[in-house]
Structure formats: structure tokens, C-alpha cells
């Protein structure tokens, strides 16, 4: 029987080529629309936020009530940091359900990787924010498909993980924003879409045990290797950890592929079941992977094991740029694609030119996501002052804030956000530079996060915290008649996972030798004093390696000063940098190391905030 003639497009398939193209067009048109008149969109967003939240206590407390306009909002509402908000957050965490920040119920807290008083910041959120986040995600693949066609014909191998969650004394869940998203129906029950077709079954992503999660995601990624068109993780550090995992475990993984039997280390029944839907005995594939992984060099391992990969999707802007050389090595120069810029407070924007070089990445803020303002950053000698914590703005500084549509090309700004969920003129702490425009909407390079000295994964350690931690550690040296003359630090990402290195110069009394265990105790004391995001990375996620103290020869820090002066630093104003990044300086320090010590164990970490006690 002759086949029925095919319709030009199969309308019975919800995601055929025609409807996909149409959907992509709609999303790109949305971007065109909102970037063509960003100021009107921003005005509407602010008006919606203020109308919806007109009766909330916070706005009323500052003199706003009832309908209002942008000028009045700016006049009355102060620009704030997390510490200003802490008393309100504490009330919500303790169960106060009155409309303090938002007229909609606070559905949960998102635990930011930024900290306050050593603990994660708690960002209030509401149900409807999930839709806004989903919208931003839905823009990414239509943008990408303009540059790399055919991505709907295969899978993405993304290593995605959930983190532990806790409950506030008032019963609200507190967890990272991605954990919240992966556990939501927006992710779990997403309708079939070729762009969210991942090698990792949901169950493997939602597995709370990070080892089982990684093992099963890697195994599925290997089983489906030919179908993989793109690979990634959220941050570069996470993707490199996955490759490192393969380096350590390929033999076990190949055994599973050869036999079709899943390793008993994966004990979670739902994960086992999901993996068994993918895993079939395939000795040929096992031989191939074994052959590639047992080669001495791992250069290009990604293109070798997943030969159809077109790009690596990871954030390498900001501190993550330290991982670019490693990714280039494993990926043999595959494009590194940074698709989006987002935070617990608000999802901000997308990269409309995703195949550009990492150093040129700029993000277009999507004006419907929140109301954005920009505080001009004045650099001091080319360096933002970093030891001081953000201070309150005086009246003049408050007036310097400009709207999204008014930022100037080349100027740097600190991002200030007002959200539907109840943050008003909140300083995110990120410094952005205007790199260009999409229609009338500015595009920003991510410059840095303020006050971050050291970062390996999502940890953000500032100089003040580091200084206190070093002071605590030095007490271990007291019995030995020794003083710490100088110190500095370095985020060493040449190890996987990366780790903090602290360089110490000591003035020693040679008569009393110091046993290595004392320095090891110092390493641990520093780690115990650092914030909870750092300790979680060390103890739970294993995304940060043991902290190392390197003792340098006497006179090393004088050499460091000589070097800085030779580069043009002023001798009167020279201060020892508390964190170094510049390769020649790191080399200088490393060349004068006399001994080194590592933290002997993980620092303590428990989920939740220390003031909540054991509420889990
Ligand atoms: P969190 O609040 O833990 O979700 O972290 C959000 C922060 O991560 C942002 O404020 C930025 O400092 C950083 N971040 C997020 N996306 C990017 C990106 N694309 N490039 C550089 N830094 C980013």
C-alpha cells in the first residue's frame, strides 16, 4: 500500500521541526521586543512590583503606600545590602507570615553562595518567580540554535546536582536556587522538548548522594556518547570535577558498560532503575572508552569520548575564568559557551553571542526579570577597594544610580535590583561593565564580585574573613615563640578540585622546632574559621581540596614588594596584597617555599544556619 502523502509538517507531533522553528522565532522575537524599548518595560515592571506589593510593611515603613511612580520610589526607598535586610529576613525565617516584603506568600528561601556573618544569605522567593526563571531558561536554546544548528537532533550531557536543604525555625525550606529549580515541576515534569533532552535521567540529578549522582550521570553520558551534542555543568569547576571523576573511575564505569550490570555503589533504588533504562551490555563501547581513557594524555578527552560534541556549556566569566586553560586542554579548543547570568536574588540575562571568546562575553539583561539600577563604580588606581565591606550610601551616592536605559558604554556599575519577590534596591554585589547594546538594551561584561579574594567553586571568601581565619590559626603557634610576619593567599586551580594556598613568612626562634602537626592544625583552624559555603564545599560537595600553608623563606615578602615597585607601585602606598593572582608573583612565592602542609581533615559543616540548631 502506498504511504499516505506526508504533510509539509507533521502537526500531530508537538515538537516537530516546524513548531520548533516557530517556537524559536517567538522567543527571539520576545528578545527583540523587550530590548527595543527597555525603559518602558522597566517602568512597567517597577509599577507592577509596586502595585502588587503596595501594602507591604517594608515599603510602608519607608513612606511608600498606594500607587507611586519611579521618582517617588527612588526618593523614598534606600539602596541597601543584605545586612540592612537581615532583621526582616530573620522574622520571616522565624515564621512571621505577615506581608513584610511581599504581598505573595514567601514560598521558600534561596540560600545564596554570598555570605553574611559566615552563613549563607537567605533570599526570599515566591512561587511565581519559578516562571520567570523558566522563561529565562527558555531563551537560551533558541539563541544558541542561531549559531549551532541541529542541536535538537541529539542530547546534552549536563552534570547537574542538588544540594542539601534545611528548614528555618518557622518551617520554610532553605536551599540553593538550582536545587529549588531541579526539584520543581517546571524541571521534573517539563514537557518533551528536544532542547532539554539530557543524558542524565531526572532521578540521577535529584539523587541527594553526590557520589551516586555523579557516577550514574557519567555512566549514562558514556552509554549515550554518540548522541551527545553538547556537554556542560553550571560552573566550569563542576565540569572539570566530572572529568576528574572519569579519570578516577573509568575502569569501573567500563565494567558496567561491558556487562550491563550497574555497580553496587549506586544503592538508591530510583537511580538504579533510571540507569538500568539506559545501561545495556555493550562490550564494543566499553573497549572504546577503555582505549581512550587508558592513553597517557588526556588532552582532548571530551572530543575523543563524545565525538559529536559541538561546545562546552559552562560559566567561565568572573572567577571561573581561572579554569579556561584546563577546559581548553580537555576540550581540545571546543568553544566554551557562557549562556546566562543569574543569581538567587533574580535571574538577570543571557549571552546573545554565545560563540564569542570567553573574554568577550557580555550578558543582555532581560528587562522583564526585575527592575534594575546601576551604581557607578569609581576605581581607585585601577583596583576596586576590596578590604572594606560595602558601606551605606550617602544621599549624593544614592542619586548617582541610573536606570537600565541610561547606562554609558564603557562605564562600570554595581548592579542594584528590585524584584517581584520583595527585594527593593538591593545591591547584588556584582560589578558589570557596559560592553555594547542589543537594540536599546545594554549588554554587560561581568567584571567581578565585590570583596571576593578567593574562590574555587561557589565559595566567595573576602579579605576580612581570610584575615580573621589567619588570626585564629596563628594562636596555634603561640607556644613556639614565633610570629607571622606576612601572609598572602592564592586560589590554586591546578589541582582538581582546586584549593586555597596561604603563604606564610614567619620569624622563627630556631631553638624551638615546630612539629608539622602544628602547621596542619593551623590549616584546619583556617578552614574551620571560613564561611559555611567554603566548609560545605570541603566537607559535603568535595568541590574544594584541603587548604595548604606554604612557609616561605625570610625576606620573600620584601622581594614581593620590590617586584611590585618595579612594576610601578608606589613605595609609600605599598600594602602586601592579601590575595595574589598574577602568575609571576605566584611563581616568585613558590620559588621560595621551604615547607608546605595540608589540612589533615575536613572542617565541620552542617546544613542550615548555626543559629537554627538542628532543625532537620
Ligand atoms: P548565588 O547567589 O549563589 O546564586 O550566586 C550568584 C552570583 O554568581 C552572581 O551574583 C555572580 O556573582 C555569580 N554569577 C552568576 N552567573 C554568573 C556569570 N554568568 N558570570 C560570572 N559570575 C556569575
Q: pLDDT for 522-551, tens place per residue?
A: 999 999 999 999 999 999 999 999 999 999
CB 243 within 8 A of CB 309: no
Higher pLDDT, 414 or 385: 414
Query: Residue 350 Cα, ligand 1 centroid: separation in angstroms?
Result: 13
Cβ-based neighbours of 594, under 8 Å, separated by 6 or more: 551, 552, 553
Return the pLDDT at 10. 43
Q: Is residue 5 packed enough to be buried (19+ CB in 10 Å), middle (13-18) or exposed (0-12)?
A: exposed
> Counting beta carbons within 10 angstroms of the beta carbon of residue 396, is it exposed (0 to 12), middle (13 to 18) or buried (19 or more)?
exposed
d(CA 603, CA 455): 17
Q: Who contacts 447 (Cβ-Cβ below 8 Å, separation ≥6)?
A: 412, 430, 431, 432, 433
Q: Is the pLDDT of residue 293 over 70?
A: yes
User: What are the phi and psi torsion angles at 120 (to 5°)?
Assistant: -60, 145
| Cβ(64)–Cβ(109) below 8 Å | no
Atom 23, ligand 1: residue with shortest CA distance = 341
Distance, CA of 444 to CA of 24 (rounded, Å): 24
SS3 readout for 551-603 = EECCCHHHHHHHHHHHCCCCCCCCCCCCCCCCHHHHHHHHCCEEEEEECCCCC
Nearest to 262 by CA among 271, 82, 442: 271
pLDDT-derived band at 167 (thresholds 50, 70, 90) equals very high
DSSP states of 402-456: EEGGG--TT-EEEEEEE-TTS--SEEEEEEEEEEEEETTEEEEEEEEETT--B-S
Q: Say if residue 284 is exposed, middle or buried (CB neighbours under 10 Å; 0-12, 13-18, 19+).
A: exposed
For 333, other C-beta atoms within 10 Å of its C-beta total 10
Helix (H) or strand (E) holding 495: none
Confidence of residue 15 (pLDDT cuts 50, 70, 90): low
**Ranges of each domain in the chain:** 149-309, 453-608
* Residue 512 pLDDT class (50, 70, 90 cuts): confident
HSE-CB at 154 with a 13 A cutoff on CA atoms is 22
- Return the best residue to mutate from 115, 180, 318, 462 for the ligand 1 pocket (most ligand atoms within 8 A of CB): 318
* CB-CB contact of 49 with 410 (8 Å): no
Structure confidence at residue 18 (pLDDT): 81
Confidence of residue 383 (pLDDT cuts 50, 70, 90): very low
CA of 446 to the centre of ligand 1 (A): 9
Residue whose cell numbers read 579519570: 247
What CA–CA distances, in Å, run from 280 to 109, 160, 271?
Answer: 41, 23, 15
How high is the mean pLDDT of the chain?
93
Whether the per-residue pLDDT at 608 is higher than 90: the answer is: no
Among 317, 318, 311, 306, residue whose Cα is nearest residue 337 = 311
Looking at residue 198, the DSSP 8-state letter turns out to be B
Residue 81 sits at φ, ψ, to 5 deg, of -115, 180
CA 576 to ligand 1 center in whole angstroms? 28
Pocket test for ligand 1, best of 110, 177, 342 (most atoms within 8 A of CB): 342
Grid cell at residue 529: 574559621
- Tell me if 136 sits within 8 A of 350, measured CB to CB: yes
Dist. CA 161–CA 165, nearest whole Å: 13
Provide the pLDDT for residue 391: 66
Residue ranges around ligand 1 (CB below 6 Å): 112-114, 177, 315, 317-318, 338, 341-344, 428, 430, 446, 449, 458
Question: Cα of 504 to ligand 1 centre, how many Å?
Answer: 31
Of the residues 120, 315, 353, which should be mutated to test ligand 1's pocket, given the most ligand atoms within 8 Å of the CB? 315
Dist. CA 555–CA 571, nearest whole Å: 17
Q: How high is the pLDDT of residue 609?
A: 87
Contact 537, 235 (CB under 8 A): no
User: Helix 210-223 and helix 236-259: axis angle, to 10°?
Assistant: 70
Average confidence (pLDDT) over 361-389 = 77
Place of cell 514567601: 106
CA distance 28 to 26: 5
Q: Which of 114, 339, 536 to mutate to test the pocket of ligand 1 (most atoms within 8 A of CB)?
A: 114
279 CA distance to ligand 1 centroid (A)?
35
Residue 501 predicted with pLDDT over 70: yes
pLDDT of residue 12: 44
- The closest alpha carbon to 461, from 557, 540, 579, belongs to 579
Closest ligand 1 atom number to CA of residue 113: 3
| Sign of torsion over alpha carbons 534, 536, 537, 538 | positive
Per-residue pLDDT of 214-268, as tens digits, reads 999 999 999 999 999 999 999 999 999 999 999 999 999 999 999 999 999 999 9
Query: For residue 113, how far is its CA from the centre of ligand 1 (angstroms)?
Result: 9
Query: In what helix (H) or strand (E) does residue 340 lie, and over which residues does it extend?
Result: strand 340-342
CA distance 56 to 68: 14
Residue 395 and residue 398: Cα distance in Å, rounded?
5
Name the least confident of 384-388, 418-422, 577-581.
384-388
User: CA 379, 385, 388 angle in degrees (round to 5)?
Assistant: 145
| Cα 396 to averaged position of ligand 1 atoms, centre (Å) | 28
Alpha helices in 278-338 (DSSP H): 283-293, 301-305, 324-331
**Closest alpha carbon to 140 in 363, 400, 453, 419:** 363
Rounded CA-CA distance 124/57 in Å is 15
Cα 342 to ligand 1 centroid, rounded to whole Å = 6
What's the CA gap between 87 and 96, in Å, rounded?
A: 12
32/26 Cα distance (integer angstroms)? 10
What CA–CA distances, in Å, run from 22 to 15, 25, 156? Answer: 10, 5, 22
In the predicted model, is pLDDT for residue 3 greater than 70?
A: no
C-alpha cell at 283: 562490550
Element (H, E) at 363: strand 363-365
Cα dist from 386 to 429, 531, 532, 573, whole Å: 12, 18, 21, 15
User: Cell numbers 532537620 correspond to what residue?
Assistant: 616
364 SS3 class = strand
Q: Measured from the CA of 178, which atom of ligand 1 is nearest?
A: 4
Expressed in angstroms and rounded, the spacing between residue 117 Cα and the centre of ligand 1 is 20
Q: Alpha carbon of 119 to those of 112, 159, 457, 475, 531: distances in Å?
A: 9, 26, 16, 24, 6
C-alpha cell at 83: 545586612
Average pLDDT over residues 109-115: 95
Q: How far apart are CA 491 and CA 471, in angstroms?
A: 19
Amino acid at each position: 500500500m502506498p504511504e499516505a502523502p506526508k504533510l509539509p509538517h507533521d502537526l500531530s507531533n508537538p515538537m516537530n521541526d516546524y513548531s520548533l522553528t516557530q517556537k524559536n522565532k517567538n522567543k527571539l522575537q520576545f528578545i527583540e521586543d523587550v530590548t527595543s524599548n527597555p525603559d518602558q518595560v522597566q517602568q512597567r515592571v517597577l509599577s507592577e512590583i509596586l502595585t502588587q506589593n503596595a501594602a507591604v510593611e517594608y515599603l510602608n515603613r519607608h513612606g511608600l503606600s498606594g500607587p507611586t511612580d519611579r521618582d517617588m520610589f527612588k526618593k523614598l526607598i534606600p539602596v541597601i545590602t543584605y545586612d540592612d535586610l537581615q532583621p526582616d529576613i530573620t522574622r520571616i525565617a522565624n515564621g512571621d507570615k505577615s506581608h513584610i516584603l511581599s504581598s505573595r506568600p514567601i514560598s521558600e528561601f534561596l540560600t545564596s553562595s554570598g555570605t553574611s556573618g559566615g552563613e549563607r544569605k537567605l533570599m526570599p522567593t515566591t512561587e511565581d518567580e519559578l516562571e520567570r526563571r523558566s522563561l529565562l531558561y527558555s531563551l537560551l536554546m533558541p539563541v544558541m540554535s542561531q549559531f549551532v544548528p541541529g542541536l535538537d537532533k541529539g542530547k546534552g550531557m549536563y552534570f547537574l546536582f542538588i544540594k542539601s536543604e534545611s528548614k528555618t525555625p518557622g518551617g520554610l525550606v532553605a536551599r540553593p536556587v538550582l536545587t529549588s529549580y531541579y526539584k520543581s515541576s517546571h524541571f521534573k515534569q517539563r514537557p518533551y522538548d528536544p532542547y532539554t533532552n539530557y543524558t542524565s535521567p531526572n532521578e540521577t540529578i535529584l539523587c541527594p548522594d553526590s557520589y551516586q549522582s555523579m557516577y550514574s550521570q557519567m555512566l549514562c553520558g558514556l552509554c549515550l556518547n554518540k548522541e551527545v551534542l553538547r556537554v556542560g555543568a553550571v560552573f566550569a569547576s563542576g565540569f572539570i570535577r566530572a572529568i576528574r571523576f572519569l579519570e578516577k573511575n573509568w575502569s569501573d564505569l567500563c565494567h558496567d558498560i561491558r556487562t550491563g550490570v550497574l555497580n553496587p555503589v549506586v544503592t538508591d533504588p530510583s537511580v538504579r532503575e533510571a540507569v538500568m533504562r539506559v545501561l545495556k551490555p555493550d562490550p564494543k563501547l566499553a573497549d572504546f572508552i577503555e582505549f581512550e581513557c587508558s592513553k597517557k594524555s588526556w588532552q582532548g578527552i571530551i572530543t575523543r569520548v563524545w565525538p559529536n560534541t559541538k561546545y562546552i556549556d559552562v560559566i567561565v566569566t568572573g572567577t571561573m575564568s581561572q579554569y579556561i586553560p584546563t577546559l581548553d586542554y580537555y576540550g581540545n579548543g571546543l568553544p566554551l559557551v557562557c549562556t546566562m547570568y543569574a543569581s538567587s536574588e533574580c535571574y538577570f540575562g543571557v549571552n546573545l553571542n554565545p560563540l564569542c571568546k570567553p573574554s568577550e562575553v557580555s550578558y543582555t539583561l532581560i528587562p522583564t526579570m526585575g527592575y534594575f539600577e546601576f551604581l557607578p563604580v569609581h576605581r581607585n588606581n585601577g583596583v576596586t577597594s576590596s578590604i572594606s565591606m560595602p558601606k551605606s550610601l550617602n544621599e549624593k551616592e544614592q542619586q548617582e544610580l541610573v536606570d537600565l536605559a541610561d547606562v554609558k558604554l564603557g562605564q562600570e556599575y554595581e548592579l542594584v535590583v528590585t524584584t517581584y519577590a520583595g527585594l527593593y534596591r538591593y545591591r547584588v554585589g556584582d560589578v558589570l561593565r557596559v560592553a555594547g547594546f542589543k537594540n536599546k538594551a545594554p549588554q554587560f561584561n561581568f567584571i567581578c564580585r565585590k570583596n571576593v579574594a578567593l574562590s574555587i567553586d561557589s565559595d566567595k571568601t573576602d579579605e576580612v574573613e581570610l584575615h580573621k581565619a589567619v588570626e585564629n590559626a596563628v594562636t596555634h603557634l603561640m607556644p613556639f615563640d614565633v610570629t607571622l610576619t606576612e601572609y598572602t593567599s592564592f586560589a590554586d586551580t591546578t589541582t582538581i578540585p582546586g584549593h586555597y594556598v596561604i603563604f606564610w613568612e614567619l620569624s622563627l626562634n630556631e631553638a624551638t622546632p615546630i612539629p608539622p602537626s602544628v602547621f596542619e592544625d593551623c590549616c584546619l583552624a583556617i578552614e574551620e574559621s571560613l564561611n559555611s559555603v567554603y566548609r560545605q564545599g570541603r566537607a559535603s560537595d568535595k568541590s574544594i581540596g584541603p587548604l595548604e600553608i606554604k612557609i616561605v623563606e625570610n625576606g620573600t615578602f620584601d622581594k614581593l614588594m620590590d617586584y611590585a615597585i618595579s612594576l610601578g607601585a608606589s613605595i609609600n602606598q605599598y600594602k602586601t596584597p592579601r590575595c595574589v593572582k598574577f602568575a609571576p608573583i605566584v611563581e616568585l612565592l613558590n620559588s621560595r617555599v621551604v615547607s608546605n602542609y595540608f589540612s589533615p581533615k575536613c572542617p565541620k559543616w552542617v546544613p542550615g544556619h548555626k543559629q537554627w540548631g538542628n532543625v532537620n
